[in-house]
């Protein structure tokens, strides 16, 4: 099934297949934070993230949001459409946490009046700096139309995911998305897992995401498992 390794990132690897335009995305057990400065291997994380990503991609398809997901191939692998990725990360925030608190002096936990979209340039060596539409256009990372569409789709993803998570008592605090092009269409790529989201228990505020690893707050696979179980995802 898998042929050649096309790309290997910190958390995932992409392989070519016999079908042109289709890749296998493999979810690794590696956990990284702070642009790769902190690293560990956590048994079972790849499987949990593959299952959770599959769940969200299928829900997005049901809501008519196009993604690169085709089907799950194994416990840690999914078949995807090959996209030409844009080096831009779109972050949506519903509640202040993480970098926005440091940058703007906000208190962690402040509920924002409406969802906020931010753009970051995907470059570990530079620490993923914050950018705006003009940077995207000037440096050829994405056109203004691309950025507008990415924001619109990301807000729609926020609506779908927030509802699913609130229904099981979890606040979607913030999350990061990556997009690419398939022919001329902007399509959601990458993954949707607790690695790229902040998830807080509605009742207790308990963190159910990668902050557990970033801040040494406990077992990462235990909280990812809890997210999966609450959403009714079989592991």
Name the residue whose CB lies closest to ligand TMP.
98
Out of 8, 19, 36, 138, the residue judged to bind ligand ASP by CB under 6 A = 36
Residue 174 interacts with which of ligand ASP, ligand TMP, none, CB < 5 to 8 Å by class: ligand TMP
Question: 224 with 52: CB under 8 angstroms?
Answer: yes
Q: List the interface residues with ligand TMP, window 190-219 (CB under 6 A).
A: 196-198
Helix (H) or strand (E) holding 41: strand 38-41
Residue 32 interacts with which of ligand ASP, ligand TMP, none, CB < 5 to 8 Å by class: ligand ASP
Out of 1, 21, 35, 63, the residue judged to bind ligand ASP by CB under 6 A = 35
First to last CA, the chain: 23
What is the three-class DSSP state of 3?
coil
Per CB under 6 A, 28 contacts ligand TMP: no
Residue-level length of the chain? 235
> Residue 121, class by beta-carbon neighbours within 10 Å (0-12 exposed, 13-18 middle, 19+ buried)?
middle
Q: How far apart are CA 210 and CA 197, in angstroms?
A: 8
Residue 175 interacts with which of ligand ASP, ligand TMP, none, CB < 5 to 8 Å by class: ligand TMP
Q: How far apart are CA 220 and CA 135, in angstroms?
A: 35
Out of 55, 56, 69, 175, the residue judged to bind ligand TMP by CB under 6 A = 175
Q: List the interface residues with ligand TMP, window 95-124 (CB under 6 A).
A: 98-99, 120
Here the tokens at position 9 are 């990132």
For ligand TMP, the binding residues (CB under 6 A) are 89, 91, 98-99, 120, 128, 174-176, 196-198
For ligand ASP, the binding residues (CB under 6 A) are 10, 32-36, 128, 210
């Amino acid at each position: 099934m898998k042929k050649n390794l096309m790309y290997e990132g910190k958390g995932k690897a992409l392989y070519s297949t016999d079908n042109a335009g289709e890749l296998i995305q493999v979810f690794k057990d590696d956990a990284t934070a702070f642009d790769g400065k902190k690293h560990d291997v956590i048994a079972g994380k790849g499987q949990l993230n593959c299952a959770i990503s599959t769940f969200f991609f299928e829900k997005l398809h049901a809501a008519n949001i196009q993604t690169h997901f085709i089907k799950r191939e194994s416990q840690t692998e999914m078949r995807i459409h090959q996209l030409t990725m844009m080096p831009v990360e779109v972050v949506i925030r519903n509640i202040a946490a993480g970098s926005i608190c440091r940058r703007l002096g906000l208190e962690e936990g402040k509920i924002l009046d409406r969802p906020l979209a931010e753009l970051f340039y995907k470059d570990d060596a530079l620490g993923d700096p914050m950018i705006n539409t003009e940077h995207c256009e000037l440096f050829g990372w994405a056109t203004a139309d691309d950025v507008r569409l990415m924001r619109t789709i990301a807000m729609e993803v926020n609506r779908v995911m927030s509802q699913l998570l609130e229904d099981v008592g979890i606040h979607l605090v913030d999350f990061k998305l990556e997009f690419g092009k398939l022919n001329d269409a902007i399509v959601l790529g990458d993954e949707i897992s607790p690695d790229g989201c902040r998830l807080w228990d509605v009742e207790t505020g308990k963190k159910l995401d990668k902050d557990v690893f970033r801040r040494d707050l406990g077992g990462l696979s235990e909280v990812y498992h809890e997210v999966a179980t609450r959403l009714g995802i079989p592991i």
